[in-house]
Structure formats: structure tokens, C-alpha cells
């Protein structure tokens, strides 16, 4: 049986080109916002609002996708929103406009996430989902290698010309949208017509979900609460005295490791069980964060980001594959959407917690505390039935 089907390959290229566009801007976004007059506080409020929008919309549109029995329209609209938001960020610099453009970007992610992952799940069997989601994550993260690399090359020739990058990022986004028109969605009949859900109706799914789903989501949301933004890891490198080029270079290295391990770990997850791979991933996260408390040299940072890349490959795609195996098929998008919505809300709190601990007790305390929480969560995950 063919595992990587036509739809999986196309969806993977869609994610690749979208991530090229997004990650091209990731390293320079805070710098650009500062150049147009945003304070650190305003940047924090902007990202908080954007993340809240993504969180609520992931749950709602995942639920709506299941209610309508359709996936492709949500995928196409979601990627279109993300693409058009890029040049919007550079057209005008008024704070209200920037908030609107950033919200459109995150809304796009919310619209497409549940439907896209449900499409991937529909193309796989329970025995091949690790491979499918692992392959998709590898292609997606390849964009996180190519995007920052393209940004570095561009800025080497055009220093401080950030605004043009936002227009350049529009083109890979358009390519991604074009690819979506080659996806062929399998027609399905709903058991009975469903009423369009309200904004927070996805929360009701929690009541009817399986015990395994609840335990897994609780574990991962607790983990997310203490898993701060990668910005804190990059800030640690910067505070150790390294240049911006080295910081971005290490970030690219981390994503490259993520790419290389995603598909092999997906294959391994199908063979030995997804729970084992996720637990190993959480243990690697703990080792990385505790190690970051003491790291100072380039070699140590590279070694820790190597482990961090394997952690990401062992968890992000595998967790979604695991969720699709423990939920009913007709609720796949809702299950993914509910999980990612709760995860986004936890992310909102996580960076504030990390920043507070960093301010009060120092960087080492932030990383050690997160690492210890990850150890406890990994123990809890071992009690969950596959």
C-alpha cells in the first residue's frame, strides 16, 4: 500500500512553502516592529492577541469542519489568510493595522489546522499515521530551515531593509495556495445533518471524548504551561555573548535536525508505539532545558539544540497522530482543534510564567524548572493507554 499518497505530498508542499514565508520573517519580526515604533510591551500584547485568536479559532473551525463534513475549503481559506497577511504587515505601520494583519495571519492558522490534520488522518491507517504525520512535519519544518536562510542571505546584501522581506514572503505563500487546488478531498456523507457550532462549542467535545484523549491532552497542556517560547532559548545564547548570525544559525541547525528525524521517528512510532516516542521526546526536552541552565560554549549549545530538534520531531507530529488514533473518525478535526486550542491558551500563559521566573530567579531557574516539569509529565504519559 502506498503510504505517502498524492494528497499527503501536496499538503506537505503546501506547509513547506507556507513555513518558508512565515519563518523568513520570524527572526526579524521583533526587530521590524521596534523600527516602526512598537515597544516591548506592545509587541507582547500583539503576540498575545494573535495567539488567543489562533487558539479560539482552531477549536471553532475544527468543530465546524466536522459539522460540515468538509476539509478542503478550510485548508484553502486558512492558507490564503496567512499569505495575504505578509504584505499587509508592510503596507501600513499604524498599530491598529499591524494588529489586524497579525490577527489575519493567526486566524488563517486556526481555520486550517484541524481540517488539514483531519485530511492527513483520512489518508492514513492507524498503522501508518506516525509515518504520515512525521513526513508532513519534516516537510513543514524544512520551510523553517529555508526561510531563515533566505532571510539571512537577503539581509547580508540589504541590511535593515526589513519591509521588503514582507513582500518577498508573499510569493511562497501564493505558491502554497496554488498547491491546495490540486488536493482531491474524498466525498463523505454525514450520518445526520449537524447544526453549525457556536464559537466555544468545541469545549463540549471534551465531555464526550475518551479517557485516553483527556489524559493525553491534560498532560500536554500542563507541559505547554511550562514550555516557554523558543525565543527564551535564543535569548540565552544571545546573553552568552554570541552574534545575531550565530543565534539564527543555531536556530536553523535545530530545525534541520527536526527535519532529518521527523520521518524516521514517525516510522519508529508506528512500529513500537507512539507513547514510547513521545515519552522519549519529553525526556530529551528535560535534558535540553536543564542543560541550557549551564551552557556557555558553542559546542554545548549545538549539542543541546541537537537534542531539542529530536525532541520536536518525537512529539509534535507524533502527538497529533496519536490523537487521531484515539478519537472517532467523524470528530478528528474537532479533537485536533480542541487540543491545539487548549495548547494555544497554555502558550499564552507559558511565556509570561517563564519571563517572571527569569526576572525573579534568573535564567537557570527558568530552564531547570521547565525541565523538571517535563520529567514529571513524561512519567504521567506512561500511564496513558495507546
CB neighbourhood size of 55 (10 A)? 23
Whole-number pLDDT of residue 195? 64
pLDDT, average across residues 121-126: 92
Would you state the cell numbers that stand for residue 193, as one nine-digit string? 445533518
Whole-number pLDDT of residue 238? 80
| pLDDT tens digit sequence for 314-345 | 999 999 999 999 998 888 999 999 999 898 88
Q: Who's near 185: CB < 8 A, 6+ residues apart? A: 70, 71, 72, 119
Return d(Cα 162, Cα 35) in angstroms, integer.
9
Whole-number pLDDT of residue 47? 74
- Is the per-residue pLDDT at 190 higher than 60? no
Least confident of 9-18, 24-33, 282-291: 24-33
198 burial level (CB within 10 Å; 0-12, 13-18, 19+): exposed
Q: Interhelix angle for 363-381 vs 274-292, to 10°?
A: 160
Whole-number pLDDT of residue 304? 96
Return d(Cα 378, Cα 117) in angstroms, integer.
24
Q: Interhelix angle for 6-25 vs 170-180, to 10°?
A: 160
Return d(Cα 202, Cα 58) in angstroms, integer.
9
Return d(Cα 70, Cα 337) in angstroms, integer.
14
| pLDDT tens digit sequence for 267-287 | 999 999 999 999 999 999 999
Whole-number pLDDT of residue 44? 67
Whole-number pLDDT of residue 189? 58
Return d(Cα 263, Cα 317) in angstroms, integer.
9
List the domains of the chain with CATH numbers.
6-185+203-381 (1.20.1250.20)
Whole-number pLDDT of residue 108? 95
Return d(Cα 75, Cα 117) in angstroms, integer.
10
CB neighbourhood size of 359 (10 A)? 10
Residue 351 pLDDT level (bands cut at 50, 70, 90): confident
Say if residues 19 and 262 touch (Cβ distance below 8 Å). Answer: no
Q: How far is CA 374 from CA 210, 217, 261, 286, 362, in A?
A: 24, 14, 21, 5, 19
Q: How far is CA 184 from CA 5, 113, 119, 176, 293, in A?
A: 11, 17, 10, 15, 48
- Is the per-residue pLDDT at 191 higher than 70? no
Length of the chain: 386
Give the predicted TM-score (pTM) of the model.
0.89
Q: How far is CA 14 from CA 78, 79, 139, 177, 236, in A?
A: 11, 8, 9, 7, 33
Amino acid at each position: 500500500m502506498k503510504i505517502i499518497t498524492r494528497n499527503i505530498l501536496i499538503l506537505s508542499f503546501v506547509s513547506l512553502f507556507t513555513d518558508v514565508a512565515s519563518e523568513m520573517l520570524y527572526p526579524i519580526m521583533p526587530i521590524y516592529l521596534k523600527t516602526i515604533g512598537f515597544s516591548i510591551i506592545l509587541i507582547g500584547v500583539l503576540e498575545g492577541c494573535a495567539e488567543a485568536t489562533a487558539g479560539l479559532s482552531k477549536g471553532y473551525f475544527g468543530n465546524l469542519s466536522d459539522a460540515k463534513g468538509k476539509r478542503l475549503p478550510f485548508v484553502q481559506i486558512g492558507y490564503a489568510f496567512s499569505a495575504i497577511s505578509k504584505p499587509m504587515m508592510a503596507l501600513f505601520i499604524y498599530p491598529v493595522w499591524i494588529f489586524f494583519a497579525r490577527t489575519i495571519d493567526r486566524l488563517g492558522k486556526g481555520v486550517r489546522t484541524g481540517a488539514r490534520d483531519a485530511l492527513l488522518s483520512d489518508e492514513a491507517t492507524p498503522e501508518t499515521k506516525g509515518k504520515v504525520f512525521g513526513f508532513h512535519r519534516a516537510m513543514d519544518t524544512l520551510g523553517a530551515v529555508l526561510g531563515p536562510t533566505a532571510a539571512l542571505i537577503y539581509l547580508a546584501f540589504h541590511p535593515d531593509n526589513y519591509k521588503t522581506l514582507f513582500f518577498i514572503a508573499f510569493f511562497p505563500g501564493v505558491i502554497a495556495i496554488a498547491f491546495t487546488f490540486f488536493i482531491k478531498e474524498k466525498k463523505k456523507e454525514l450520518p445526520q445533518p449537524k447544526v453549525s457550532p457556536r464559537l466555544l462549542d468545541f469545549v463540549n467535545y471534551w465531555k464526550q471524548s475518551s479517557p485516553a484523549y483527556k489524559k493525553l491532552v491534560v498532560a500536554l497542556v500542563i507541559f505547554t504551561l511550562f514550555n516557554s517560547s523558543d525565543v527564551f532559548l535564543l535569548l540565552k545564547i544571545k546573553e552568552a555573548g554570541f552574534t545575531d548570525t550565530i543565534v539564527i544559525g543555531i536556530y536553523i541547525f535545530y530545525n534541520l535536525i527536526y527535519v532529518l528525524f521527523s520521518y524516521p521517528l514517525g516510522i519508529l512510532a508506528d512500529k513500537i508505539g507512539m507513547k514510547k516516542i513521545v515519552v522519549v521526546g519529553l525526556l530529551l526536552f528535560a535534558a535540553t532545558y536543564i542543560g541550557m541552565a549551564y551552557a556557555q560554549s558553542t559546542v554545548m549549545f549545538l549539542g543541546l539544540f541537537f537534542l531539542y530538534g529530536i525532541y520536536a520531531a518525537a512529539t509534535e507530529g507524533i502527538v497529533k497522530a496519536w490523537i487521531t488514533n484515539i478519537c472517532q473518525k467523524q470528530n478528528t478535526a474537532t479533537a485536533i482543534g480542541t487540543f491545539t486550542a487548549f495548547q494555544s491558551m497554555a502558550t499564552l500563559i507559558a511565556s509570561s510564567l517563564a519571563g517572571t521566573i527569569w526576572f525573579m530567579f534568573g535564567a537557570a531557574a527558568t530552564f531547570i524548572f521547565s525541565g523538571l516539569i517535563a520529567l514529571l509529565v513524561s512519567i504521567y504519559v506512561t500511564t496513558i493507554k495507546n
